[in-house]
Structure 1
Amino acid sequence: MSAPAVPGYRLRRLVHRGTSFDVYDAWSDERACPVVVKRTRPGAAAEAGRRLLREGRMLLTLTHPHIVRAYEVPQVDRPTVVLETLTGQTLDHLFDENGALAVRDVAELGRQLASALVYLHSRGIVHGDLKPANAVNAQGLARLIDLSLAGPPRVWRSARGTPGYVSPEQARREQVSPATDVWGLGLLLLEAAADDDPYPVGDDGRYREGHGPLEAPVPLSRRRRVPARLGDLVTAMSAFDPAARPSMAHVRRELEALAER
C-alpha cells in the first residue's frame, strides 16, 4: 500500500476543486476527528502555494471564536494546510435558502464578524476579501474561513478580490486598509438584510466589470424597511471614500447595541 499523501491524515473525499487548490474532507489519526486538508493542485502557480502557506502560518497564530483554526502546515510534497472541520453552511447558501434575515439576526451576524475583524486589525492584518462565501454559519455561530488574501495594509498591484465585492480602493490599486474590510462587511450586511446583491449583474451604472464599483451601492433603507440606526450604519460602511467609513470598532459597538434590542 502506498504511503498517505499527507502523513497522519487520511484523505476521504474531495469536496472542492478550484483553479489552484483541492480541498478534502480528511481524518486526523492523531486527533481522531475529521479535518479539512487544503492543498495546491499539481501544476499550480508558485504564487498560489506561497499564498496558501502564508495563510496557514497566519492562522496558526490566531485564536478567535469567529475565525477558523489551522491545526498544522505539514512539510509534504506540495503546499498543504490542515484546518478544523466546520459544520453549517456558507453565508451565500444561507442567504439563498432563507432570504432576508431578521434585523436582530443581521446585527448578531455582523457583530460576530466585526469582532473577528477588530481582532485581525489589532494584529495588523486586513482580510481583504469579505463576501458571503468566505464565512460559515453553524447554529448561530459565524466563522471566517478564508484568509488567503489577508495581510498588512498595502497597495495591491495585481487584480485580486471577488468581482462585485471589491472595494473602490482595491479596484483603483490604492491602499488596502481596515476601511476596506468595513466596506466588505457593509456589503455583506446589506445582502443579509435585503436579500439582494449589492451590485447586481447588469447594473453598469454602479459597477463595471474590470473597473469595480463606480459609486456606492443603493442604500439599505431604499431596499427594505429597517431601523434607521442599522440603515445609517450600513450606508456609512459602504461610503465610496474609505476616509468617510466608520472604524470597525465603532461598527462592532453599533451592531452590539442593535443585537441586544
Structure 2
Amino acid sequence: MHTTPLSPDDPAELGGFTLLRRIGHGGMGQVYLGESAAGEAVAVKVIKPTVVDSETRQRFAQEIEVLKTVWGPRVAAFVKADTESEQPWLATEYVEGPDLRRLMDTRGVLPPLAAASLGATLAEALAGVHSQGLLHRDLKPANILLGPNGPKIIDFGLAVFAESSASLTAPNMVMGTPACMSPEQANGEKPLKAPVDVYALGAVLLFMTTGHYPYQADHVQVLFSQIVNPEKTPDLSGVPEELAGLLSAMLQYAQQDRPTMDEVVAQCVAVIKSHGATVAQARRRLTSLTAVAYEPPAPDPVPAPYPPTTTAPASAEATTVLAPATGPMAVAPTVPLPQQSTPTHPPAYTPTVAVSTTDSEPGPGPVDVAVPPPNLVPAPAPITTPPVGPRRSAAARRIASQLRETYASAAPF
C-alpha cells in the first residue's frame, strides 16, 4: 500500500497506536499506518475535525457497528475504535500491498487467469458478507487490496443491512462510486440487495482486464444518465473471450438477470481450469503481481559515521592510500594495515607516495593500484604510456625506500 510521511498537523498517537505514515484520505477523514505497543500494524481512520458533528459521529458509529459484524478471511478485520473522542477514529487490520487501482497503474491489465482468480476470491468473500445480511455498496478497485496472501476487501463505510430500509445516508441521496455503481443504486432504489455488489464486482473485473469501466463520461451527470438508461449497453470492448459471457451477465441492467455470487465463483473456477491450472496455482499467479506493483516505503536515511569512500577495501583490514599525480604514472597501493585502538597518525592523515610497479632494489612487491578519483586529487596532465622495462634511476630507488619507511611505522613487526 502506498504511504507518505506524516505532516506536522498529524497526531503522533491515537488510542494507544503510534501513527507512522499516511496511507490515504477521503471525504470524511485521513487514514494512517499505525502500530500497537506490541508492534502490530493497523490502518487507523480518523475523522477530520472540520466534519465532526453529531450527524457524522452517528454515521461513523453505525459504520463501526456494521464492521463488528463483518468477518471472513478476505475482509480487513475490525480492531478497535472510539467514536466519542475529540477526533473519532477506527483501527482495522493493515494489509500490506497495493490496491487494484495502483496495481493497474503499475502492472497494467490482468491476464485472464489472474482475473479469474481475483473474481472467484472476491465473489466468495462477498457471498460470505451477504450471508451475514450485509452489503458492501461501494466495491471499487481502491477498496480492494492485493496482499501477500491474496485480495482483501476494505472500507465498508457505506455498508447497510441488506433487507433493512434503514440507511446511513439522507433520503433521496445517492452514495457510492459512479464508475462501479449499479443502475438501481444510481436510481436511488431502497432497499438495495445482493445484485448491487454483483454488478460492482463485474465493473471491477472489467476495469482490471480492459482498463475501462462499463460507462465513461467527462461529467458525472452524463455518466449517471448512461448508467440508468436501460437502452445503453455497457462497453465490453477488449474483454478476454473466456470472461466476456460472465462479465456481460454481471453487468445486466435488471437485477434478476445477474448471476449470484456462488455462480460467479463457479464460472471463474471453470475459466481457471480451462487454462490447465488449479485454483491454488491461479491464486499464486495473482499474488505474484504484488511484487511488481508494490515497493514498501524506504526507511529514513541514516547518516554515515564517516565520509563515503570511492574505493571499497578488499577486507576489514585493508585501506586505500592515494598518491599525488607526480610523474608519468601515479598510482595508489592497497596494502593491509593492522587494527589499532589508537591511530599511529592523527585523524585524516594519509601518507602519500608515488610508487612504481617494479624496482631494481627489493621492495614491497607487486601491489593492487587504483586511479585517484578526480574530486580528491588534481587531474593529471595528458600523459603518454611509460616505456616498458626496469627503472633503475636514483629517484626510483629513493621513492621505493620512502615507501618502505612510510609503512614500516604501521606494520606489526
Please say whether Structure 1 and Structure 2 have the same fold, judged by a TM-score greater than 0.5: yes
Say which SS state the counterpart of residue 90 (structure 2) adopts. Answer: strand
* SS of aligned partner of 1:73: strand
Match of 2:58 among 50, 54, 67: 50
Aligned with 2:177 (options 139, 162, 174)? 162
Q: Specify the alignment match of 1:40 in structure 2.
A: 47
Q: Given that residues 206 and 239 in structure 2 are in contact (C-alpha distance below 8 angstroms), is that contact kept between their aligned partners in structure 1? A: no
State how far apart, in whole Å, the 2-side matches of 1:203 and 1:7 are: 41
Deviation of 1:223 after TM superposition, in Å, equals 2.0
Higher relative contact order, structure no. (Cα contacts within 8 Å, ≥ 6 residues apart): 1
In structure 2, what is the equivalent of residue 190 of structure 1?
206
**Matching residue's letter, 1:165:** C
Distance, in Å, in 1 between the alignment partners of 2:116 and 2:219 is 27
Residue 92 of structure 2 is aligned to residue 77 of structure 1: no
CA distance in 1, matches of 2:117, 2:131: 21
**Which residue, out of 149, 155, 158, partners 1:146?**
155
SS of alignment partner, residue 217 of structure 1: coil
Number of aligned pairs? 252
Q: Which consecutive unaligned segments of at least 5 residues does structure 2 have?
A: 1-10, 275-413
After superposition, the C-alpha distances for 1:169-228 in whole angstroms (9 at most, x for unaligned) are: 011111311010110001111111112233223499xx8245461333123xx424422x
User: Which of residues 238, 247, 260 is equivalent to 1:223?
Assistant: 238
| Aligned CA distance change for structure 1 residues 203 and 256 (closer, same or farther; 3 Å) | farther
Q: Secondary structure at the match of 1:43?
A: helix
CA distance in 2, matches of 1:186, 1:161: 16
Task: Assess if the C-alpha contact under 8 Å between 2:17 and 2:35 holds in 1.
Answer: yes
Match of 1:255 among 268, 275, 283: 268
1:18 deviation in Å? Answer: 2.8
Q: What does residue 187 of structure 2 align with?
A: 172
Q: Percent identity?
A: 29
- In proportion to residue count, which structure has more strand? 1
Q: Which amino acid aligns with 2:234?
A: P
Q: Which residue is 2:363 aligned to? A: none
Structure 1 spans left out of the alignment, 5+ residues: none
The TM-score, its normalising length taken from structure 2, stands at 0.57
CA distances 1:107-134 after superposition (whole Å, capped 9, x unpaired): 1001111011100110110111111111
- Answer with 1 or 2: which has the greater Rg: 2
For the structure 1 residues 225 and 145, does the alpha-carbon distance in structure 2 shift closer, same or farther, using more than 3 Å as the test? closer
Q: State the TM-score, normalizing by the size of structure 1.
A: 0.87
Q: What is the rounded CA distance, in whole Å, between the counterparts of 2:89 and 2:219 in structure 1?
A: 39
Contact 2:136-2:156 at 8 Å conserved across structures: yes
One-letter amino acid matched to 1:162? T
The 5-angstrom pairing of residues 228-247 of structure 1 reads 230-247=243-260
**For structure 1, which segment, 233-242 or 51-60, has the greater mean C-alpha deviation from structure 2 after superposition?**
51-60
Q: 1:17 to 1:131 in 2, by over 3 A?
A: closer
Distance (Å, rounded) in 2 between the aligned partners of 1:123 and 1:178: 11
Q: Quick check: 1:63 aligned with 2:71?
A: yes
**CA-based RMSD:** 2.4
Question: Is 2:14 the counterpart of 1:6?
Answer: yes
Distance, in Å, in 2 between the alignment partners of 1:194 and 1:4 is: 41
